[in-house]
Amino acid sequence: MDLVSRHRITTVRCVLDHRIDPDRPRQALPTLVICGGHRTELYRLATDLPRRYDDLDRAHGTPGPRGPGIPTGIPFDDDIAEHRTHMVSVVASWCGAIASERGITPPADLHMDALAAWLYRHLEWVAAREHMVVALLGELRQISGRALHLADIRARRVPLAAQCLTHTGGTRCTGQVSIVIRGDDWTAHCETCDTIQDVGPYLRGVRSGKWITGEGVIMLARLCGLPCSPDVVRQWHHRRRITGQRQKDGSVLYSLASVQAYLTKRQPPIVSKRMAG
């Protein structure tokens, strides 16, 4: 191995910021300039693009009844229509930029599904180029976050007394996160730094994999605004509302998926902030 390639292997660090323990350098994956965590995030954002886009369509198409004194839905619907157009133009311009740098033909079909699928096929190439991956990840986070935010009218937002884990320039964000629950999609949102984050680190101890303890069920139920106790958890289990598995020591672990599905069904209808205001 010559000195140059040895140098590359030992010094290529992920070029992106890390919110947990930001001063610890992360090794980039071989041939890439980003770490495994950021590569996963990049792929997830690209994969979810059509879904985020369709969520907006649903939010756009069903604004719901508005009571007397509530302004018409036009400004809100305009935001949604505008953001849908913006999402397509951002993804299309990325496809165009990649195609021109690679000397290939950009996608002909300018629908979100086709654009996102085309982009997806070039992510590995992008992830090897610092000037591209930093900007692409930033823009995908921005358009996805905004889409989630706009489509969130029927989501349940639960403030969690937990400090945001995001770091900027080595300083931890002072915001507090809320958990945003939309169906079986659980994310953490910080209004201070306006980031949509993985909910996992905030529910550590409650959510460690697919099975959770009775205390975990109680905590999640309370997050969803449902009074709960060990007796209530046992009843839910007894009535087969949630799935459980008895352990050798007599304790019961509950299937996280079944708990999430049940709590989602039990949530009261939410009045959107905009409609209420």
Q: Note the residues at the interface with Zn ion (CB under 5 A).
A: 14, 16, 26, 35, 38, 164, 166, 173, 175, 190, 192-193
Q: By CB neighbour count within 10 A (0-12 exposed, 13-18 middle, 19+ buried), where does 120 fall?
A: middle
Residue among 9 and 81 whose Cβ is closer to Zn ion: 9
Q: Which two tokens stand for residue 262?
A: 């049940």
223, 216 contact by CB (below 8 A): no
140, 46 contact by CB (below 8 A): yes
DSSP 197: E
**Min. distance of Cβ 21 from Zn ion in angstroms?**
11
Residue among 178 and 258 whose Cβ is closer to Zn ion: 178
One-letter amino acid of 85: T
Residues whose CB is less than 8 angstroms from the CB of residue 106 and which lie 6 or more positions away in sequence, other chains included = 92, 95, 96, 98, 99, 100, 118
Helix and strand tally (H, E) in the chain? 10, 9
Q: Please tell me the distance from the alpha carbon of residue 146 to that of residue 179, in angstroms, as a whole number.
A: 16
**Min. distance of Cβ 18 from Zn ion in angstroms?**
6
**Min. distance of Cβ 40 from Zn ion in angstroms?**
10
**Min. distance of Cβ 42 from Zn ion in angstroms?**
10
**Min. distance of Cβ 165 from Zn ion in angstroms?**
8
Question: Which position has the token pair 């000037």?
Answer: 131
